[in-house]
């Protein structure tokens, strides 16, 4: 009997953001800080809206990995690849602030940009039918 080394699952953007907000996916200490510029965030959103693939996210289930906040992962899924994309989506769609290593706020989508992004993404198939925005 072979042990399963990996599995592939497909989730909507809404579901992935829900995992992050619920704390089911965490960023390990070894990850670099968020470095994307506004144009890269915009391009990701535009790609999703246009139906282009946005790449894979790679997560690893490990019982004890040190996280960015200094805590242990305690069996959470650890985001190995895709942090820049997930963080960009968190700020663009959910309005989460990004704090850099100096505890200064980084990239933040303006209110008018956020309203435009949310109205466009509500029409996109990358979100599940139950996706809602305020």
- DSSP code string of 24-88: SEE-BTTSPPP---HHHHHHHHHHHHHT------EEEE-S--BBTTS-B-TTPEEEEE-HHHHHH
Using one digit for the tens of pLDDT, what is the confidence trace for 44-64?
999 988 888 888 999 888 767
Percentage of residues in the chain with pLDDT exceeding 70? 66
5 in a domain, yes or no?
Answer: no
pLDDT one-digit tens code per residue, 5-36: 778 888 888 899 898 888 888 888 888 888 88
Let me know if residue 128 belongs to a domain: no
* Host domain of residue 93: 13-121
Domain count, the chain: 1
Give the per-residue pLDDT at 63.
64
pLDDT at 125: 53
């Amino acid at each position: 009997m072979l042990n399963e080394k990996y599995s592939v699952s497909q989730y909507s953007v809404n579901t992935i953001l829900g995992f992050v907000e619920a704390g089911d996916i965490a960023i390990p200490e070894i990850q670099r800080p968020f470095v994307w510029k506004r144009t890269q965030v915009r391009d990701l959103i535009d790609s999703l809206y246009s139906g282009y693939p946005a790449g894979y996210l790679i997560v690893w289930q490990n019982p004890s990995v040190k996280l960015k906040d200094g805590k242990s992962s305690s069996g959470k899924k650890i985001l190995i690849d895709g942090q820049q994309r997930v963080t960009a989506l968190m700020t663009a769609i959910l309005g989460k602030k990004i704090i850099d290593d100096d505890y200064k706020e980084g990239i933040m989508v303006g209110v008018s940009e956020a309203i435009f992004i949310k109205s466009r993404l509500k029409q996109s198939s990358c979100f599940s039918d139950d996706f809602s925005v305020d």
